[in-house]
Amino acid sequence: MWASLGLLLTSALVGKVIAERCPQICICDGIKHQVTCLKKNLTEVPVNIPQITQKLDLRGNEIKVIPRGTFLPIPYLTHLNLQKSQVASVEEGAFRGLGRLVYLNLASNNIAFLYQEALDGLSSLQQLILENNRIEEIKPGAFGQLGFLSFLNLARNSLVYLPDMVFQGLPLIKWINLSHNTLHVIANEAFGGLPTLRRLSLDHNELQFLPTEALSRLSGTNWLEIGHNPITYIGEEALEMASLKQLFLDNMALQDVSHRAFVRSPLLHTIDFHNNQLFVLHPLREMAYLKKINLTGNPVLCTCNMRPFKEWAEKARIHVDVACAGPAAFKGQQLESLRTRDMKCGGHGYEEELLASLPTLPREPEEDAPKCPAGCTCSSDFHHANCESRQMQSIPKGFPSNTQLLDLHHNEFHSIPKGSFPGLKNLTSLHLQNCKTAALQPGAFQNLKNLVYLYLSNNSITSIDPDVFQGNIQLAYLYLDSNRFTQMPKGAFSFLPNLLSLHLQHNSIGQLSDKDLEGMEKLRWLYLTGNHITHVSPKALRDAKMLEKLHLDENFLQEVPTRSLRELPNLIELKLSKNPIKYIGGGAFLPVARSLQHLYLDSMGLEQVSFRAFTGLGPKIKSLYLEKNKMHNLPSLRSFTALEVINLSDIPFYCNCQLLPLRKWLDRLNLRVGATCSSPADVRGQKVKLISTFQTCPGWGTKKAKRTSSTKARAGKRSNRKRWSGNVQIKRSKKSKA
Ligand SMILES: *[C@@H]1O[C@H](CO)[C@@H](O)[C@H](O)[C@H]1NC(C)=O
Ligand SMILES: *[C@@H]1O[C@H](CO)[C@@H](O)[C@H](O)[C@H]1NC(C)=O
Ligand SMILES: *[C@@H]1O[C@H](CO)[C@@H](O)[C@H](O)[C@H]1NC(C)=O
Ligand SMILES: *[C@@H]1O[C@H](CO)[C@@H](O)[C@H](O)[C@H]1NC(C)=O
Ligand SMILES: *[C@@H]1O[C@H](CO)[C@@H](O)[C@H](O)[C@H]1NC(C)=O
Ligand SMILES: *[C@@H]1O[C@H](CO)[C@@H](O)[C@H](O)[C@H]1NC(C)=O
């Protein structure tokens, strides 16, 4: 046996020496340990690359698939370049073994989707370049394995939406480039968990508003590029970024900026507003560090209206770069070179006259400008049309046929008739919220083949005819929240094979019945917060097999709808907060235990939780919300080993020896949980984690003793459960809160 092992070793060595030779088609530099195989029509990574290679350049080949373990034979790679190689698929474990790789360039390929496991093993990676691919979606945690990544380039992809925590698990990231996507919606927690991020590029996207809340999570970011987005207005306190110094708001459609827009970003040093449509800017007071404002390319009118700004800028020693667009006498002159007292306003009508005389006026139709219905504004650059808040009573017609976004919110369209949007084949986003709409007539949205977003929030719709969405095959995000549904609008969804996200929160839906989700094979997120749901039938959800998020909070459920959770193999987030659920029985979450990561059970008036309630749940769970309930103890949480958030505040814990297992678990947990004792009286209001009561409990001491005592405590829990949930205890805990 030893002999044959020796033989194996020798042949392995020989094999290695042979492999040190260079693949014929490539150029090998043995000193720099560099191999280059540029534009060789390679369809796979050559097999006999020298093992000690550190840099591998495979640009311009035809490597369509990168199979698992491709690079295992060359584990010393530090740089790998696969640009322009027609890569469409990166299999799980494709880069496994590349623990020394610091630079990976996958730019200009055909990657549409990246599995988390695709990036397995890249534990030293610092730069990941995915620019110019076809990525449409990133799943939260996709980059979770890249603990050393500092630079992530996702520019020039097709991202539309950034979900919560999408970049989590990047503890050293410095720079993320998301330019040149089609970002439309950014979830509030999308940038959660990025305390080290210094620079973010969001320019050249489709954002209509500053994503204030999402950006506020970036407490360490000092450089933000968000220009080239169709934002028209920046409101008060619209940017809340504690460390921000450089802000780029160029080439947007800005018409107005609140004088308090940036007060929550007190360190701002430079704001670039070039190429917008600002006629006037107000003094941006309270900005102690502001030094530079660039207003070139705006139709700034150097009249009396700009005086306060000029005076303020001079006093605060802010350098402003702007040439006046009018009045005629000052045209082309720098604002800084004018004397304030010369900046005058004429009498009535002077401004209008002035505006009319300006050649670059945005509202003045250009010669080949597209048509636009009266009362609306149409921006040809962004293919947007806007008629919001115009007290319109019928939907205007005659929008440019290339319109992609149509904003009609806050008007009065009591009914949306058939064929309301003729010829808008490229429309992707339609805003009809706050329109007092009660009826959608069959065919209302006909011919909108490319519609992706439909906003009908805050109307008076009670039902939807099954034919309403016929032909809207691309529709992915449908907002029907704050309407008057008393039951699920059944049937209408069978025309929406691509529906991803359905908002039905704040209606009056009373129950979920069988077939309510029929046709929603691709639905990922279902929002039913704030309805009147008392019952979910066991088969109600089974058509939505892809469901990831289910929000059933603020309803009238009296028990966890365990049976309805069967056949939801992908459920990640379940919200049941604020339902009157008093008791959670054994195995309540068992059907979704393999996938569930976030569980919300707070504010329910829970009195009792079975010691087997969490059976099956464990290391998958990242957040568990149990605050504001009425039980006195909890089942063992030992299997929850990967928690990132847990909230146990406002639970009236009964702090005797029965609680020792929880206390021991808390001692090892490195998270704030907020658990306080409510009784007995001598420890009321004290932190479970700090009281000394437990030191006298059997099992507090050595490890061995600990184990036996916690077993005992758990056994005891069962017999005591009933007693604890008695009324006496509950009353006492209420008193203790007061
Ligand atoms: C690659 O393929 C193209 C087109 O078939 C051909 O013109 C070119 O010579 C090939 N290059 C190499 C290095 O074989
Ligand atoms: C981000 O990517 C875009 C598109 O390639 C590029 O033009 C831009 O310079 C990058 N931004 C930064 C800050 O590097
Ligand atoms: C302001 O922006 C314009 C256009 O990008 C640029 O040419 C100019 O140098 C900028 N001014 C300052 C002072 O940075
Ligand atoms: C719609 O979009 C496509 C693809 O971008 C384009 O080719 C076409 O010209 C557009 N249609 C109209 C009417 O603008
Ligand atoms: C909903 O509509 C009502 C009446 O039109 C309005 O007062 C309210 O502000 C709207 N709510 C939201 C969230 O837009
Ligand atoms: C727990 O929830 C309470 C009430 O909502 C909140 O005030 C507290 O900050 C939360 N604590 C933790 C640790 O998340």
Taking the C-alpha atoms of residue 282 and residue 234, their distance in angstroms, rounded to an integer, is: 12
Q: Which ligand is nearest to the CA of 181?
A: 2
Ligand 5 pocket: which of 409, 434, 435, 482 to mutate (most atoms within 8 A of CB): 434
pLDDT band (50, 70, 90) for residue 714? very low
Average pLDDT over residues 364-386: 70
pLDDT of 567 reads 87
Asked if residue 155 has its Cβ within 6 Å of ligand 2, the reply is yes
Residue 676, pLDDT > 90, answer yes
How far the first Cα of the chain sits from its last, in Å, is 78
Q: Can you point out the beta strands (E) in 15-54?
A: 27-29, 34-36
Q: Select from 228, 274, 295 the residue to mutate for testing ligand 3; criterion: most ligand atoms less than 8 Å from CB.
A: 274
Contact 600, 574 (CB under 8 A): yes
Cβ burial of 662 (10 Å; 0-12, 13-18, 19+) is buried
pLDDT digits (tens, 9 = 90+) for 481-517: 999 999 999 888 888 988 988 999 999 999 999 989 9
Give me ligand 2 centre to Cα 253, in Å. Answer: 21
Average pLDDT over residues 353-357: 53
How confident is the model over 89-97, as a mean pLDDT?
Answer: 92
pLDDT for 715 beyond 60: no
Helix, strand, coil distribution of the chain in percent, nearest 5: 15, 15, 70
pLDDT at position 490 is 83
With the C-alpha atoms ordered 364, 370, 373, 377, is the resulting torsion angle positive or negative? Answer: negative
Check whether 21 has a pLDDT greater than 50: yes
pLDDT tens digits, residue range 32-57?
A: 899 999 999 999 999 889 999 999 99
Give the residue whose CA is nearest to atom 11 of ligand 1: 40
Distance 372 CA to ligand 3 centre (A): 33
Ligand 2 atom closest to 177 (CA): 1
Cβ atoms of residues 538 and 564 within 8 Å: yes
Q: How confident is the model at residue 713 (pLDDT cuts 50, 70, 90)?
A: very low
Give the pLDDT confidence of 401-413 residue by residue, as tens digits: 888 889 999 999 9
Average pLDDT, integer, range 126-135: 96
For residue 105, give the 3-state DSSP assignment. Answer: strand
What is the Cα–Cα distance from 453 to 445, expressed in whole angstroms? 12
Are 509 and 489 contacting, i.e. CB atoms less than 8 angstroms apart? no
- CA separation for the pair 186, 425 (Å, rounded): 25
DSSP, residue by residue, 320-343: EE-B--BSGGGTT-BGGGS-GGG-
Mean pLDDT of 707-717: 40
pLDDT given at position 20: 56
For position 352, what pLDDT does the model report? 53
Tens-digit pLDDT profile for residues 560-584: 999 999 989 999 999 999 999 999 9
pLDDT digits (tens, 9 = 90+) for 142-191: 888 899 999 999 999 989 889 888 898 899 999 999 999 989 889 888 99
| pLDDT above 70: residue 691 | yes
Domain boundaries, the chain: 38-200
* 3-state SS, residue 430: strand
Whether 17 has a pLDDT exceeding 60, the answer reads no
Atom 1 of ligand 5, nearest CA residue: 458
Alpha-carbon distance of 316 to 310, in angstroms, equals: 10
**Pocket lining for ligand 5, CB < 6 angstroms:** 434, 458
**Does the C-beta of 41 come closer than 6 Å to ligand 1?**
yes
Per the CB < 8 A criterion, the answer to whether 97 and 67 are in contact is: no
Task: Give the lowest-confidence range in 147-156, 208-217, 681-690, 704-713.
Answer: 704-713
CA–CA distance, 173 with 194 (Å, rounded to integer): 7
Question: How does residue 370 score in pLDDT terms, banded at 50, 70 and 90?
Answer: low
**369 vs 222, residue with greater confidence:** 222
Which pLDDT score is estimated for 356?
52
Mean pLDDT score of the chain: 86
- Distance CA(434)–CA(110), nearest Å, equals 41
Ligand 6 midpoint to CA 193 (Å): 18
pLDDT tens for each residue of 55-75: 999 999 999 999 999 999 999
Mention every residue, 6+ apart, whose C-beta is less than 8 A from residue 136.
112, 113, 157, 158, 159, 160
53 lines ligand 2 (CB under 6 A): no
pLDDT-derived band at 309 (thresholds 50, 70, 90) equals very high
Q: In angstroms, what is the span from residue 170 Cα to ligand 6's centroid?
A: 25
For ligand 1, atom 12, name the residue with the nearest CA: 40
* Range of lowest pLDDT (263-267, 428-432, 537-541, 652-656): 428-432
pLDDT at 138 over 90: no
Nearest CA to ligand 5 atom 4: 434
Which pLDDT belongs to residue 366? 40
Cis, peptide link before residue 417, omega less than 30° from 0: no
**Which residues, judged by CB distance below 6 Å to any ligand atom, belong to the binding site of ligand 3?**
274, 294, 296, 321
Which is the closest atom of ligand 3 to the Cα of 292? 13
Q: Ligand 2: distance of its center to the CA of 100 in Å?
A: 26
577 touches 557 (CB < 8 A): no
Spacing, Cα 270 to ligand 3 middle (Å) = 12
Amino acid, single-letter form, for residue 313:
A
Tell me what pLDDT residue 737 has. 33
Residue with tokens 């603990």: 147
**With 0-12 CB in 10 A as exposed, 13-18 as middle and 19+ as buried, what is 684?**
middle
CA 646 to centroid of ligand 6, rounded, Å = 9
**The predicted structure's pLDDT at residue 699:** 81
The residue that leads in pLDDT, 706 or 639, is 639
- For residue 584, what pLDDT is reported? 97
pLDDT of residue 522: 87
Asked if residue 84 has its Cβ within 6 Å of ligand 2, the reply is no
Residue 632 has pLDDT above 90, yes or no: yes
* Ligand 2: centre distance to CA 445 (Å): 38
- For ligand 1, the distance from its centroid to the CA atom of residue 55, given in whole angstroms, is 24
Question: What's the confidence (pLDDT) of residue 710?
Answer: 42
Q: Which residue, by CA, sits nearest to atom 12 of ligand 5?
A: 458
Q: Considering every ligand atom shown, identify the ligand nearest to the alpha carbon of residue 179 and give its number.
A: 2
CATH number, domain 38-200: 3.80.10.10
Cβ of residue 450 lying under 6 Å from some atom of ligand 4: no
Residue 193 pLDDT: 86
Instruction: Give the pLDDT band of residue 301 (cuts 50, 70, 90).
Output: confident
Predicted confidence at residue 245, as pLDDT, reads 97
**Alpha helices by DSSP H, 20-101:** none
The answer to whether residue 274 scores a pLDDT higher than 50 is yes
Task: Give distance in angstroms: CA of 458 to centre of ligand 5.
Answer: 6
Lowest mean pLDDT among 232-241, 242-251, 726-735: 726-735
Closest-CA residue, ligand 1 atom 5, reads 41
Whether ligand 6 lies within 6 angstroms of the CB of 644 is answered as no
In terms of pLDDT, which residue wins out, 284 or 705? 284
Cβ of 649 below 6 Å from ligand 6 = yes
Check pocket membership of 201 for ligand 2, CB cut-off 6 A.
yes
Angle subtended by helix axes 703-724 and 660-668, to nearest 10: 130
